[in-house]
Chains A and B, each alone.
Chain A
């Protein structure tokens, strides 16, 4: 078993913030942990890594109890950037990890190149932007090629290019056999990373495979919108009109090719096709509708 969380409960003052969490991961994969602010995502990760006490339950990572610090040879945890030391350089941080993990120093250059931080490797962290700090945090947790990687809001402060780079690195890690448990508010990115999403609501975990929600939403720009509406209504296809400009429909309702065939047959020219994944966001809205912190 790669990850086993059994009946994890945590009370904060009088309130249960985690109400018996169970997680079992047997194969390397990416799992997203999603929930509104204060739902307990960070608390769960901190409990899993034995940084926080918990009232009940057990946690095993790679078959070992989480109280054994040896697990961190193969388990990494990306936390917020407060763990960094401003007076030290990025190189100092990575060298420290290399030293305590018993890794060769060549890994530093290697991981810096992979993350794209060679240019500021020798600069002090206090001069870093938020994005640069996130890069360093990422480098620090992947330098040891972990088998389990826990990531708490890894996309915070990243520009779109860096976010794409991080996503690609995570997908590579999954291919290399790393199990990644990632919490994020960026549902679009989550959608691109995985279908396996655990929603944390009121201290409980709703485990879902979002294949059914991981749909694409298509946006078609046509030469004659009114005619296109008529064609699709006649063919009993579920669609809507977006912004009085585009025909929009979801992949789960109808296949793209079917829509194209109907429109072409009736002489409606398709000028452009855009698509967007909507899985996690759609399910999130369903689950947390009306929640003030959503």
Chain B
């Protein structure tokens, strides 16, 4: 405990930690005001997108008219097919036009309903072998999201440009769990142990009357505490700034995930808890691996190189080979935890938590044994 307090003080009072914390807060605040500044622009973009879809439908309509008038003979099966597609396309054109006019209005329920109709029409049109620049995935995702929003009476927010607390928090959490936390942790702990060897300050710890294994435990726990402090700041800052300057929101806002090919909805709160939880499990693994590598290499660059190499290799293997059956045994599953939540194919988001924690404990145990015979040369 006494060593832990000393280790924590070393990290907490370091210039690096304070600068990093200030930088993260500034970054989140900047991101919020970027959302504010670009609000109009995003709405314009959305309108332009619907204009484009209207143009696509108009172009399709001209093509169908030409085919019906010039190329095909009335009464044939092909003629009827084209005629049917043209009708469907005209419906699409009208709905896209309606959506274009609804952008920026307060009629959010109507927008959701019209968008649902539009996506259903696109789906039917594509099934009738019509070509339209919207993917199946996009259709399913939008339908699921809009239906959930309507059912819960929540207005739709623009993804990644929202000023509402839950949605801005989601945006920050996604950035945080997609490499953000890993980079920050690497910056925070990158020289936690290796610098002790490089500067020889480890000699002070090695010449005190306590079990050397305590050094590993205290460094691990203090790193974890520092990570948790940073995480809390990263999560509270978006809430604070969006409550002060943003719009109203709802923490039941649905996040669409895919479980065994079926789209389901998580609430924003559940998603944040799961994403931050998985990231924390990954950080536990990462710190444990770092401590072991730092004892093996005793040199910052080499240690970080080995750590990054291991994580990268683990991620590539996880992404390359379908390891559904091995999900329970893969400690690298949460290198990018967002994917583990959003797509759960024959596996669940929590499957690899036990193995990741067990491997972390094993790594810490090995490091604790290793440090007992560790020398400064």
The answer to whether residues A87 and B15 also contact, given A49-B207, A51-B203, A96-B2 and a CB cut-off of 8 A, is yes
Is B210's beta carbon under 8 Å from chain A? Answer: yes
Is A237's beta carbon under 8 Å from chain B? Answer: no
Name the segment of B3-11, B120-128, B314-322, B355-363 touching the other chain. B3-11
The answer to whether residues A83 and B9 also contact, given A53-B375, A73-B209 and a CB cut-off of 8 A, is no
Most chain B beta-carbon neighbours within 10 Å: one of A49, A71, A84, A100: A100
In the assembled complex, the Cα of A87 lies from the Cα of B206 at a distance in Å of 20
Determine the chain A residues whose CB is within 8 A of the CB of B76 once the complex forms: none
| Mask: chain B, 199-217; 1 = CB below 8 Å from A; 0 = not | 1110110111111100000
Q: Place the interface of chain B in its size category.
A: 20 to 34
Q: Is the CB of B376 within 8 A of A52?
A: yes
In the assembled complex, the Cα of A85 lies from the Cα of B13 at a distance in Å of 11
The answer to whether residues A52 and B13 also contact, given A69-B212, A83-B201, A100-B210 and a CB cut-off of 8 A, is no
In the assembled complex, the Cα of A83 lies from the Cα of B10 at a distance in Å of 13
Determine the chain B residues whose CB is within 8 A of the CB of A75 once the complex forms: 207
Q: Is the CB of B207 within 8 A of A77?
A: yes
Residue of A nearest to B7 (CB): A96
Q: Is the CB of B13 within 8 A of A71?
A: no
Q: Is the CB of A79 within 8 A of B200?
A: yes
Determine the chain B residues whose CB is within 8 A of the CB of A14 once the complex forms: none
Most chain A beta-carbon neighbours within 10 Å: one of B10, B204, B206, B375: B204
Is B110's beta carbon under 8 Å from chain A? Answer: no
Q: Is the CB of A51 within 8 A of B375?
A: yes
Q: Is the CB of B9 within 8 A of A84?
A: no
Query: Which listed residue (B13, B14, B15, B203) contacts A83, Cβ 8 A?
Result: B203
The answer to whether residues A51 and B201 also contact, given A87-B13, A88-B10, A99-B6 and a CB cut-off of 8 A, is no
The answer to whether residues A97 and B203 also contact, given A52-B375, A52-B377, A53-B377 and a CB cut-off of 8 A, is no
Determine the chain B residues whose CB is within 8 A of the CB of A53 once the complex forms: 375, 377
Near B by CB (< 8 A), chain A positions 47-75 give: 49-53, 69-73, 75
Determine the chain B residues whose CB is within 8 A of the CB of A51 once the complex forms: 203, 206-207, 375-376
Determine the chain A residues whose CB is within 8 A of the CB of B10 once the complex forms: 85, 87-88
| Mask: chain A, 70-112; 1 = CB below 8 Å from B; 0 = not | 1111011101101111011000100011011100000000000
Is A46's beta carbon under 8 Å from chain B? Answer: yes
Near A by CB (< 8 A), chain B positions 194-237 give: 199-201, 203-204, 206-212
Query: Which listed residue (A50, A69, A72, A96) contacts B6, Cβ 8 A?
Result: A96
Residue of A nearest to B212 (CB): A69
What's the minimum C-beta distance from B204 to chain A, rounded to whole angstroms? 4
Q: Is the CB of B200 within 8 A of A80?
A: yes
Determine the chain B residues whose CB is within 8 A of the CB of A140 once the complex forms: 204
Residue of B nearest to A84 (CB): B201
Q: Is the CB of A92 within 8 A of B6?
A: yes
Q: Is the CB of A85 within 8 A of B201?
A: yes
In the assembled complex, the Cα of A30 lies from the Cα of B137 at a distance in Å of 81
Q: Is the CB of B209 within 8 A of A71?
A: yes
What's the minimum C-beta distance from B366 to chain A, rounded to whole angstroms? 19
Residue of B nearest to A101 (CB): B209
Most chain A beta-carbon neighbours within 10 Å: one of B5, B14, B15, B209: B209
Q: Is the CB of B2 within 8 A of A100?
A: yes
Q: Is the CB of A92 within 8 A of B9?
A: yes
Q: Is the CB of A83 within 8 A of B204?
A: yes
Determine the chain A residues whose CB is within 8 A of the CB of B377 once the complex forms: 52-53
Query: Which listed residue (A46, A88, A100) contacts B9, Cβ 8 A?
Result: A88
In the assembled complex, the Cα of A75 lies from the Cα of B209 at a distance in Å of 9
Residue of B nearest to A144 (CB): B209
Near A by CB (< 8 A), chain B positions 1-35 give: 2-3, 5-6, 9-10, 13-15
Query: Which listed residue (B200, B201, B208, B212) contacts A100, Cβ 8 A?
Result: B208
What's the minimum C-beta distance from B155 to chain A, rounded to whole angstroms? 48
What's the minimum C-beta distance from B138 to chain A, rounded to whole angstroms? 51
In the assembled complex, the Cα of A85 lies from the Cα of B2 at a distance in Å of 16
Most chain A beta-carbon neighbours within 10 Å: one of B6, B9, B201, B207: B207
Q: Is the CB of B211 within 8 A of A69?
A: yes
The answer to whether residues A70 and B6 also contact, given A85-B201, A87-B14 and a CB cut-off of 8 A, is no
Determine the chain A residues whose CB is within 8 A of the CB of B375 once the complex forms: 50-53
Q: Is the CB of B209 within 8 A of A72?
A: yes
Determine the chain A residues whose CB is within 8 A of the CB of B201 once the complex forms: 82-85
Residue of B nearest to A76 (CB): B207
| Mask: chain A, 169-211; 1 = CB below 8 Å from B; 0 = not | 0000000000000000000000000000000000000000000
Q: Is the CB of B2 within 8 A of A46?
A: no
Residue of A nearest to B2 (CB): A99
Q: Is the CB of B200 within 8 A of A82?
A: yes
Near B by CB (< 8 A), chain A positions 233-248 give: none
In the assembled complex, the Cα of A73 lies from the Cα of B13 at a distance in Å of 28
Determine the chain B residues whose CB is within 8 A of the CB of A70 once the complex forms: 209
Q: Is the CB of A72 within 8 A of B13?
A: no
Query: Which listed residue (A72, A73, A80, A100) contacts B3, Cβ 8 A?
Result: A100
Pairs across A and B, CB under 8 Å, 20 listed: A46-B376, A49-B207, A50-B375, A51-B207, A51-B376, A69-B210, A72-B208, A75-B207, A76-B207, A82-B199, A82-B200, A83-B201, A83-B204, A88-B10, A92-B6, A96-B2, A97-B208, A99-B3, A101-B208, A101-B209
Known: A87-B13, A88-B13. 5 other contacts (CB 8 A): A49-B206, A69-B212, A84-B204, A87-B15, A101-B209
Name the 5 nearest CB pairs between A and B, nearest first: A99-B2, A83-B204, A72-B209, A73-B209, A96-B6
